[in-house]
Amino acid sequence: MNRVIFHIDVNSAFLSWASVARVKAGESDLRRVPSAVSGDPSKRTSVVLAKSIPAKKFDVRTGEPISMALKKCPGLVIVPPDFSLYVACSRAFKAICADYSPLMEEFSIDECFLDMSGMEHLYPNILDAAYELKDRIKNELGFTVNVGVGSNKLLAKMASDFEKPDKVHTLFAAEVESKMWPLPVRDLLFLGKATAEKLERLSIITIGDLATADPSVLRPIVGEKMSRQLHARANGMDSSPVEAMRPKAKSYSHSITPEENVTDYDTADALLLALTDAAAARMRADHCKAFNVSVVIRDTDFKNRSHQRQLDCATDVTRDLYTVAKSLLRELWNKAPLRLLGVALSDLTDGTGMQFSLFGGEDGGSEKQRKIDAAVDAVRGKYGKDTLLRGATMGVRRPKK
């Protein structure tokens, strides 16, 4: 059976969703003027989360500091993010998508895949179904999407990135050479900037150059495994299934970029506790425990360094995990100014079996701490994550869960 995959991608999702809400309230449509979704423009950590097409004409880019965007476009209209609105809009458009196939994979808040293989008896012309889906979302919800139609997930997602907005594009196996090969190699899905630069130094400029390159030329640059993966993707090959269930998390992590550089252990420890607490709470909600704790820091030169420790026994206790993270920070950091601090809990196991203390003995107070964590999680789940804070984190902005 020939595979047919749809990739549905909301056009400038955060900005589109904010615009729909504003229009319903009788306000102006942000999509018609240079505009962006961003945090407080006065804070250096605020970046462009989404931009309008008119803003793109001023070279405003997603992910750049909002201060830089304002220099390019002084008249830029800025609105703050509204994540509760985004969740509601995401659920609404995915509910429509689910009407077209029982096999839907939620790829991100504003993207999903549909496996349309074998649906010919319902949709004799598969492109008609793609246009119908696109138009339903526009007419019923007020925002637009692109629908990519391809022979696999890779090609469907590549197709949805073609001309925007409000379009349907195909990229079947027979179209790879004519539609995908002429594109810059940087446009290949999942190809990082550093790898693209290495390829360009080898005069591999287009995806077609990569698809026809001798693998022996790639191996010394990117390694054996990566050379095979790149060659396959450049030729449009992808056998990954559309997974209706999101795979289990491989780790739980949180990081923060403070508004001011961190230069003392008291501030760093408070942030570290808030980060560890947030990651551990998510992990406990999934009934998992971690054997590994890692800490990452970024200096003012934007260089990242990390340190990790393998635990003898898996745990989900915030206090125990924080004690390890705090020790790792001391080994890693000499109090040079920090721009970013992060914690990751990995090497996961389910919540069954005996949990021993990290500090000797079978309990060491951990059982009491687990009960405290459970009570805190329950209160936060009912009344909001900021209703209870660890004492050392008072005054520190808690990472979002």
pLDDT tens-digit series, residues 74-94: 999 999 988 888 889 999 999
pLDDT of residue 357: 38
CATH number assigned to the domain covering 181-234: 1.10.150.20
* Secondary structure of residue 160 in the 3-state scheme: helix
Beta strands in 56-110 (DSSP E): 77-79, 104-108
3-state secondary structure 354-377: CCCCCCCCCCCCHHHHHHHHHHHH
What pLDDT score was predicted for residue 384? 47
Residue 47: what pLDDT? 85
* Token pair of 6 as six digits: 């749809």
Q: Are 384 and 263 in contact (CB under 8 A)?
A: no
- Which of 64, 105, 106, 111 is catalytic? The answer is 111
Q: Where in the chain is the domain with CATH 3.30.70.270?
A: 1-180
Q: How far apart are CA 15 and CA 208, in angstroms?
A: 34
What per-residue confidence (pLDDT) applies to 373?
66
Quickly count: other Cβ atoms within 10 Å of residue 89's Cβ. 24
Task: Look at residue 383 in the predicted model and tell me its pLDDT.
Answer: 45
Cα distance between residue 225 and residue 122, in whole Å: 40
27 is catalytic: no
pLDDT at 192: 81
- Give pLDDT, residue 299: 87
Please tell me the predicted confidence (pLDDT) of residue 194: 83
Q: Partners of 345 in the beta sheet?
A: 252, 293
Q: Where in the chain is the domain with CATH 1.10.150.20?
A: 181-234
Residue ranges, the chain, pLDDT below 50: 352-364, 380, 382-389, 391-401
CATH number assigned to the domain covering 251-393: 3.30.1490.100
Q: How many CB atoms are closer than 10 A to CB 224?
A: 11
| pTM (2 d.p.) | 0.64
CATH code assigned to 1-180 = 3.30.70.270
Where exactly does CATH 3.30.1490.100 map onto the chain?
Answer: 251-393
Dist. CA 310–CA 54, nearest whole Å: 50
**What DSSP assignment string belongs to 373-393?**
HHHHHHHHHHH-TTSS--GGG
d(CA 280, CA 139): 42
pLDDT for res 193 = 82
